[in-house]
Amino acid sequence: MAEKTLAIIKPDAVKKKLIGKIIQKIEEEGFKISGLKMILLTKEEAQGFYIVHKDKHFYDPLTDFMSSGEILIMVLERENTISHWREVMGATDPALAQPGTLRQMYGSSVERNATHGSDSPQTAEWEINYFYKSEEK
């Protein structure tokens, strides 16, 4: 079974109408999209999703931002899914991301960096469960 990751197109990228370009890149990179939905998180749901960062200075602005507009949630699969998606996204801070990565092209700051990706198989499983409780996994 291919490794899975949870990918998110964040509110900044949705508002900038970048869904099409980002999904095109996802398909060109050989990912299979095995789940996809558009949702608007409440502040509490954003806080729950980013609970690992609850003690960080950016937790409050991050969860305000993530609940500020619709987001597109996707489950992606291919070989080396987690590390490959993180490579395609680039570094967390768009200013430090390699040319041609999604965050370098479409992010505007470390707080508004266009996309999300899980960072380990354990995190991926937890994050996928967070959004696909028992319904459609």
Q: Yes or no: say if 82 and 39 are a contact pair by the CB < 8 Å rule.
A: no
Closest CA relative to residue 38, chosen from 28, 50, 23: 23
Annotated catalytic residue 53: no
Reported as type and span, the H/E element at residue 26 is: helix 19-28
Among 92, 98, 120, 129, which residue sits at the site for ligand DAT (rule: CB under 6 A)?
92
Range 73-132, binding Mg ion (CB under 5 A): 119
For the bound state, the minimum distance from the C-beta of residue 69 to Mg ion, rounded and expressed in Å, comes to: 20
CA distance 137 to 33: 13
- The yes or no reply on residue 111 touching ligand DAT (CB under 6 A) is yes
User: Is 111 or 119 the residue whose CB approaches Mg ion more closely?
Assistant: 119
Smallest separation, CB 57 to ligand DAT (Å) = 7
Q: Quick check: 113 binds ligand DAT (CB under 6 A)? A: yes
C-alpha distances out from residue 17 to 35, 72, 130, Å: 20, 12, 25
Residues with catalytic annotation? Answer: 116
